Amino acid sequence: MQKLALILFLLGLFVTGLLGTETRLLFFWPGCLLLGLAGLTAVLRWKLRVSFQPSDWCLLTMLLLAGYVGWRAWTSPVEIYAREDAAVLMAGFVAYLLTVTAVSDSKWRLAIVSVLLVLVAGNLTAGWLHFKGRWDFHLVPGFFRSFPPGRIGGFFNNPNHLAAFLSFAAFLSAGVMLFARIHIASRLLLGFGILSMLAGVALTMSRAAMLGLGVGGGVFVLLALWVVWCTRRSLFKWLLIALLLVGGAAGGALFKVNADSMLTRQLTSPLGEDMRVHIWRAALAQNAESPWIGMGSRMFYEGCITHRDPESSAHMGDALFAHNEYLQTLADYGWAGLALVLLVVLAHLLNGLRFLRWFTVEKFPATGMLGSNALALTLGGIAALVATLVQAVFEFQGHIPITALVGAILLGMLANPGIESEVFRPRRIWGLRFLMKIAMLAASAALVGAAAIFGTADGYAALARYQNSRGETSKALAHFSRAVLMDPRNAVLAYQQGLALMDSVKPGMTKDAYLRTVEASLKALTRATTLNPFNYLYQLALADALDAAGKNDAAFQAIQRALALAPLYEEPRLALGIHYHRLKRYQEAEFAYLWAGKAGALNPEGTTNWLDSYRELLRQTALDAEKARNSLIQQQGR
């Protein structure tokens, strides 16, 4: 049973590395299913063979954080947003506990590193395809990478997230290469792999990842030198020289190769004009509404719009994420959530450093062996964790399933690095182990159930969107109906179904068919705004359906709600103008269109905008005036 759990766990990690590379859950569900099955299999075994005892203090901090985030997800105002954080949380929690217990043996942990290296090879191959000109390459047929050309992304849509993943793998590989008990040929292959990963990070042109690599590399070098100084001091000089030569040569080569690319990026996206400053202000503004517990899981999806910085560029798109995991935590989970995150990080880093001390004080004097898989993974894990903590100041890799999963595995390695000592005996907390097993049972069962229900519904919705884009309206509506039936509390599905119904309205429809379609769309969009009253686009879509149904006063109220949710945006102001335009209240429509032109957030280029609508208004008023003049001439002629 334990080996089966380990195999399922490794498969879940691999599948998540292939597909769980973006924030939406559509491609993460297969990984959730495998991880949930792995957790259930492990819990059914109940008493697992554990090579070493984990730190109960680390387990306690993780349980507190998981419990708090789970509670906030349960009480968050928008279920579908909370579901995204909850799925990542539960998958990471299961991976953490399996790493602490069933995967406590260093041989199985090296198997995790092997899986990561296979994923690295796949990502670099996909990055090569990007670099060859196929910038929209996606692993799943029918889907495309939407990030602009110029920066490789591998299986990831965002290059910054590929850089975070490569950083994890690079530091773990560096620890294994220097300190693990492996063959010299394996060390040479790992060295080549590390250089390839560093080149991959450079080609992503992620400045935050490079900064994290620098800080994490500094921590790795200092810890490695300290361990050698405390154990085999005669090797200290040679290791120092080797690290300086290799690090200097690799860093110089990478800088030379990518100097032009980084200069180009600096010219197109100067650090002094980075949009992140404006996004951070919005996150702080959202936190001010509920400073202690936050607004709820992933509520910055809406907060970045409602609290948009007035000083930001009118052409800046919606941020969706704070591009700073600490401010994102503040906005969504408040000071309580941020304090628990920092407590978890501190407890695990201290336990990792405690292991290094034990190794130099007890383990090495007793064995005389510097080569240790546990030492290798602990050194690499600490450096990788520090690197991602630095990158998290500028990115949101913690919301990507695979990077969050690897981060949880790193924490698990540090919670149980392999201490076996009478002097450094871990303190037990009564009842904690039992609570962790119950929590893993609940999380695993929830993952399996969610993957079976919500994953199937997401699959139907994805098929419906694809069919709708091809003009297969009837098939698309049928699949939307099946998706909504399976997942009735999904606001996104209700909104998409409502839009698909409105799009199905065609000229020449009978009056009865028209009214039935509009009424069905109105019902779906009303449900969407009820499930998520914070999205201004849902309100505007509802207003269109209400106008189509002749309920103009209710449509006006929906537009007013959208204006309150997105006060700086052109879209709701434009919708107000179109509403008045439909009612032939031209003076009010003109005022609304001109007001839309002064918005602090303009519609993207190529979409409907205030100027085109205003020109249409002028054309129509001119035609109406000409008709009125012709009618007057005809009356005078009679």
pLDDT digits (tens, 9 = 90+) for 444-469: 999 999 999 999 999 999 999 988 88
CB 613 within 8 A of CB 578: yes
Q: Which residues contact residue 54 at a Cβ distance below 8 angstroms, ignoring those fewer than 6 apart?
A: 100, 101, 104, 415, 416, 426
**Terminal-residue alpha carbon distance, the chain:** 98
pLDDT in tens, 295-328: 999 999 999 999 999 998 888 888 899 999 999 9
For residue 272, the model assigns a pLDDT of 53
Global confidence as pTM: 0.91
CA angle (46, 50, 55) in 5-degree steps? 100
How far apart, in Å, are the Cα atoms of 179 and each of 100, 347, 366? 21, 24, 17
For residue 82, the model assigns a pLDDT of 94
Quote the CA–CA distance of 535 and 34 in Å, as a whole number: 33
| pLDDT band, very low/low/confident/very high, at 206 (cuts 50, 70, 90) | confident
Whether residue 260 is predicted with pLDDT greater than 80 in this model: the reply is no
| Mean pLDDT on 482-499 | 94
Give the torsion sign (CA, 210, 216, 220, 222): positive
pLDDT in tens, 405-441: 999 999 999 999 987 766 666 677 888 888 998 999 9
DSSP readout, 211-255? Answer: HHHHHHHHHHHHHHHHHHHHH-GGGHHHHHHHHHHHHHHHHHHHH
Quote the CA–CA distance of 136 and 148 in Å, as a whole number: 8
Q: What are phi and psi of 569, to 5 degrees?
A: -95, 145
Q: Which of 9-13, 380-384, 501-505, 579-583 shows the lowest per-residue confidence on average (mean pLDDT)? A: 501-505
Whether residue 253 is predicted with pLDDT greater than 60 in this model: the reply is no
SS3 601: strand
Whether residue 267 is predicted with pLDDT greater than 80 in this model: the reply is no
151 versus 387: which is more confidently predicted?
387
| Mean pLDDT on 336-363 | 93
Placement of tokens 């819990």 in the chain: 43
| Mean pLDDT on 67-96 | 94
Placement of tokens 């607004």 in the chain: 295
| pLDDT band, very low/low/confident/very high, at 234 (cuts 50, 70, 90) | confident
For residue 637, the model assigns a pLDDT of 65
CB 153 within 8 A of CB 162: yes
631 versus 600: which is more confidently predicted?
600
CB 127 within 8 A of CB 163: no
Whether residue 270 is predicted with pLDDT greater than 60 in this model: the reply is no
Domain range summary for the chain, segments of one domain joined by +: 2-446, 569-638
For residue 543, the model assigns a pLDDT of 94
CA neighbor of 561 nearest in space, from 533, 589, 588: 533
pLDDT in tens, 15-41: 999 999 999 899 999 999 999 999 999
Residues forming a β-bridge with 601:
569
CA neighbor of 513 nearest in space, from 521, 144, 460, 628: 521
For residue 207, the model assigns a pLDDT of 86
| Mean pLDDT on 221-232 | 88
130 versus 96: which is more confidently predicted?
96
| pLDDT band, very low/low/confident/very high, at 169 (cuts 50, 70, 90) | very high
Structure tokens at 352: 């990792």
Which run of H or of E encompasses 624? helix 610-637
Q: Which of 58-72, 257-271, 450-464 shows the lowest per-residue confidence on average (mean pLDDT)? A: 257-271
637 versus 411: which is more confidently predicted?
411
| pLDDT band, very low/low/confident/very high, at 349 (cuts 50, 70, 90) | very high
DSSP letter, residue 426: P
Whether residue 79 is predicted with pLDDT greater than 80 in this model: the reply is yes
| pLDDT band, very low/low/confident/very high, at 182 (cuts 50, 70, 90) | confident
For residue 250, the model assigns a pLDDT of 64
Dihedral-angle region of residue 298 (phi above 0 means left; psi in -120 to 50 means alpha; beta otherwise): left
For residue 240, the model assigns a pLDDT of 77
Whether residue 383 is predicted with pLDDT greater than 60 in this model: the reply is yes
Quote the CA–CA distance of 302 and 294 in Å, as a whole number: 13
Residues forming a β-bridge with 637:
none
Whether residue 524 is predicted with pLDDT greater than 90 in this model: the reply is yes
Quote the CA–CA distance of 73 and 427 in Å, as a whole number: 31
pLDDT in tens, 38-61: 999 988 876 767 777 888 899 999
CA neighbor of 399 nearest in space, from 300, 528, 317: 300
- Average pLDDT taken over every residue of the chain: 88
| pLDDT band, very low/low/confident/very high, at 271 (cuts 50, 70, 90) | low
- Residue type present at position 634: Q
What percent of the chain stands above pLDDT 90? Answer: 58
In this structure, how many other beta carbons lie within 10 angstroms of the beta carbon of residue 292? Answer: 11
Q: What are phi and psi of 320, to 5 degrees?
A: 70, -45
Quote the CA–CA distance of 296 and 76 in Å, as a whole number: 5
pLDDT in tens, 541-568: 999 999 988 899 999 999 999 999 999 9
CB 560 within 8 A of CB 573: no
For residue 506, the model assigns a pLDDT of 82
Q: Which residues contact residue 308 at a Cβ distance below 8 angstroms, ignoring those fewer than 6 apart?
A: 278, 282, 566, 568, 569, 600, 601
SS3 569: strand
In this structure, how many other beta carbons lie within 10 angstroms of the beta carbon of residue 249? Answer: 11
For residue 306, the model assigns a pLDDT of 94
Residues forming a β-bridge with 569:
601
CB 324 within 8 A of CB 276: yes
Dihedral-angle region of residue 294 (phi above 0 means left; psi in -120 to 50 means alpha; beta otherwise): left
